[in-house]
Amino acid sequence: MGRKAAFHSLGCKVNSYETDAMRKALLDAGWEEAPFAPGADVYVINTCTVTNIADRKSRQMLHKAKEMNPAAIVAACGCYVEDAAGRLEADPAVDLLIGNAEKGKLPQILESCLKERDSERMKSRVLPRISSVRTYEELGAVSSGEHTRAFLKIQDGCNQFCSYCMIPYVRGRVRSRRPEDVLREVRALVAEGYREFVLTGIHISSYGLDFDYPGMNRQTPDAAEALTNYRLLELIRAIAAEEGVSRIRLGSLEPGIVTEDFIEGLCGEEKVCPSFHLSMQSGCDETLLRMRRKYRTKDFADKCRIIRKFYRDPAIMTDIIAGFPGETEEEFLKTLAFVREIHFSRAHIFKYSVRKGTLAAGMDGQVPEKLKKERADMLAETDRAERMAYAERFVGQEVLALFEEAFLRGGERILKGYTREYIPVELASREVPLGREVRVRVKEILPGGIASVQKVELRERSG
């Protein structure tokens, strides 16, 4: 029986993608996958450090792994390692540190460490400085384990250095994946049955910045002059041209990339879903200035108008931070009013988390935790109402839904999936197979913003 490895991923979709890549690399090297339970020889935890809670969860999972099998190798990987290597090196629960520039070398690192496991050398390896890494680490084709949707990593790193964010410090500078490597993965995943592709990365609006300015540490230029707009658009067009691709979704975008030319170009590609995640963080100009964001509320509203000019009822999603340092009651109310003005289809609400080493950590006016929670709760309440209002626009309309999973409810087969606008849908059907795009009519919106639908006609989009 071969050696067994168990995996656990925390944080973002990029981390999930990289965990899948590490899993595949070990399986290809002859390892067996084990559940994250007692009995594994190695536990690989892909950590996150975006908030204090993420730090705590990372430590908890590392200690849980060691408790499940004290004799196993516990490997801490990723962002928390980049931020807290010194603390983890002193932690007896952790046997191995693997930085963000080393994940693709996991099989070789484990082989070496198994030979050295009784030596202090095992954990005291010198990690490469992520800030010095300038090339994208190719991980190969990765199956996500989902039925129809694949996350496709096209980029890593960020050059923006917003005042609250650790990401540039733990992920390094912008590194873009070569188009030929992206397309090679698309073809491999289509052959496995994947139909929907979500383009993901740490800062995909910067895709191609390192191609255009090699060796330079530039931030993303203003969108009107940015070659990166067209680098990303060209990549999307190339993916759309691949046979078997039914849908393309984009990960989080910076508002600056949204120009009329860029959105018109996307609108010309039928496979691109009318679903956009624009990173906002605050609806108050004074707060945005302290955050070192590159736009103001008028700019953000203009970007939303551009999207709505080219798409009918597009989904526009966002992120919002509640309780940023110095946020007064007046500033918070400006954000709340702006959220109601824009009418997002969904918003992800976060309480501000102090990240040591960032500019915001040393700012005056740190907001008490109780007040942060109150403000986050108010934003979440507004978000629930806006989600329902957006979904209800589609009642009585025909939409395309791609179904990803099936389950039984009271003996009836229920399919779950999403519309192109990323509205969750449920369909009662014994005939409709998974992995096909189905024309349905929205009957009603259930609690939680889920659309109950009925089939109109069946069609498979093969490319």
Write out the DSSP string of 395-458. TT-EEEEEEEEEEEETTEEEEEEEETT--EEEEE-SSPPTT-EEEEEEEEEETTTEEEEEEEEE
Residue 118 identity (one-letter amino acid): D
Place of tokens 């995909």: 204
The Cα 248–Cα 150 span in angstroms is 10
Q: What is the pLDDT of residue 230?
A: 87
H/E stretch holding 66 reads helix 52-68
Q: What is the pLDDT of residue 430?
A: 87
Please answer whether residues 121 and 95 qualify as being in contact, where contact means their C-beta atoms are separated by less than 8 angstroms. no
Other Cβ atoms less than 10 A from the Cβ of 458: the count is 14
Q: What is the pLDDT of residue 462?
A: 45
Q: What is the pLDDT of residue 458?
A: 47
Provide CB contacts within 8 A for 37, sequence distance 6+. 6, 68
In angstroms, what CA-CA distances link 271 with 245, 246, 424?
Answer: 8, 6, 19
Q: What is the pLDDT of residue 460?
A: 46
Edge-to-edge strand ranges of the sheet holding 346-351: 275-277, 315-322, 346-351
DSSP string covering 116-153:
TTTSGGGT-PPPPPGGG--S---------SSSSEEEEE
The Cα 35–Cα 45 span in angstroms is 13
Edge-to-edge strand ranges of the sheet holding 42-47: 32-33, 4-9, 42-47, 73-78, 96-98
In angstroms, what CA-CA distances link 244 with 94, 144, 191?
Answer: 43, 17, 8
Provide CB contacts within 8 A for 200, sequence distance 6+. 13, 14, 17, 151, 152, 153, 154, 251
Positions of the chain with pLDDT under 70: 1, 117-126, 141, 143-147, 220-228, 457-463
Q: Is 244 left (phi over 0), alpha (psi -120 to 50) or beta?
A: left
Q: What is the pLDDT of residue 142?
A: 74
H/E stretch holding 321 reads strand 315-322
Q: What is the pLDDT of residue 182?
A: 97
Residue 397 identity (one-letter amino acid): Q
Token digits for 254? 């910076």
H/E stretch holding 98 reads strand 96-98
Q: In 3D, which of 171, 173, 188, 178 has the Cα closest to residue 154?
A: 178
Place of tokens 């197979």: 433
Place of tokens 């070659």: 227
Q: Considering only the C-alpha atoms of the chain, give the largest distance between any 2 of them, rounded to a whole number of Å.
A: 67
Please answer whether residues 152 and 249 qualify as being in contact, where contact means their C-beta atoms are separated by less than 8 angstroms. no
Overall pTM > 0.85: yes
Other Cβ atoms less than 10 A from the Cβ of 396: the count is 10
Please report how many Cα atoms fall inside a 13 Å half-sphere around the Cα of residue 185, on the Cβ side: 23
3-state secondary structure (DSSP) of residue 268: coil
Place of tokens 């964010």: 165
Domains and CATH numbers, the chain: 4-124 (3.40.50.12160), 149-392 (3.80.30.20), 398-458 (2.40.50)
Q: What is the pLDDT of residue 300?
A: 96
